[in-house]
Chains A and B, each alone.
Chain A
Amino acid sequence: DTGVSQNPRHKITKRGQNVTFRCDPISEHNRLYWYRQTLGQGPEFLTYFQNEAQLEKSRLLSDRFSAERPKGSFSTLEIQRTEQGDSAMYLCASSLFPGELFFGEGSRLTVL
């Protein structure tokens, strides 16, 4: 399978713990995006990489959130000191051309 891969698919954690999600994009795609989706809403943009450079971050991305793409391939999204409001589906997408995103299946986070 050569699609976007995300893991873990589900994560349940206690408030205050740190969590990390990994995204493996389609191999030839140089653009990588993170979105967050809560129930009943469309995906909300979090951040965007072109190769290893993080070019844009949403104001939604508080200081507790950090994303990396160290070698321009896979990416990680870390949430420190999780809060119940962080519970959501975290979606990763990659693209070769601006705007045409290919999404992974998402990582669902539940903070108790």
Chain B
Amino acid sequence: TQLLEQSPQFLSIQEGENLTVYCNSSSVFSSLQWYRQEPGEGPVLLVTVVTGGEVKKLKRLTFQFGDARKDSSLHITAAQPGDTGLYLCAPNFGNEKLTFGTGTRLTIIP
């Protein structure tokens, strides 16, 4: 059984600050997706990382895939109120289904 942990569970920061959220697994995964979900909506795919050590940038968001392929992080620079949402990581353990973490609920205070 793969254990998946996202931290922190909740994060509330002021607009303009930087933040990092984490996704850790007890098992190696072949790839990982990050999603953002707003209340009452389905998750929206942000990025897929597939190579250990990979870093991907999406405007103010930087995604990193750990060298050991068991962890990932998402760093947001100069957070804006529009970044508010539930950030979910979803590692792929080599099968068709994605296993989602419980997410980090991020609130950006204007």
Contact residues of B between 24 and 68, Cβ < 8 Å to A: 31, 33, 35, 40-45, 48
Is A98 an interface residue when CB atoms closer than 8 A count as contact?
Answer: yes
Q: Which of B31, B42, B48, B95 contacts A103 (CB 8 A)?
A: B42
Assuming the A-B contacts A99-B31, A99-B48, A100-B33, are A41 and B43 also in contact, with contact meaning beta carbons closer than 8 angstroms in the complex?
A: no
Question: Does A48 lie at the interface of the complex (its beta carbon under 8 Å from any beta carbon of B)?
Answer: yes
Number of B interface residues at 8 Å Cβ cutoff, please give it.
22
With the chains together, A96 CA to B10 CA distance in Å?
Answer: 33
List the B side residues contacting A103 at CB < 8 Å: 35, 42-44
Task: Tell me the count of chain A residues lying within 8 A, CB to CB, of chain B.
Answer: 26
Distance in angstroms from B88 CB to nearest chain A CB is 5
Task: Give the shortest distance, in Å, between A37 (CB) and chain B (any CB).
Answer: 8
Asked if B96 and A48 make an inter-chain contact with CB atoms under 8 angstroms apart, the answer reads yes
Chain B nearest CB, measured from A48 CB (Å): 6
Is there an interface contact between B33 and A42, defined as CB atoms closer than 8 Å? Answer: no
At the interface, yes or no: A104 with Cβ under 8 Å from chain B?
A: yes
CB-defined interface of B7-32 with A at 8 Å, one 1/0 digit per residue?
Answer: 00000000000000000000000010
Bound complex: CA A103 to CA B5 (Å): 22
Q: Which 10 A-B pairs have the closest CB atoms?
A: A103-B42, A42-B100, A99-B92, A45-B97, A43-B100, A42-B102, A106-B42, A103-B43, A42-B103, A105-B42
Interface residues of A (CB under 8 A from B): 4, 31, 33, 35, 40-45, 48, 50, 55-56, 91, 93, 98-106, 108
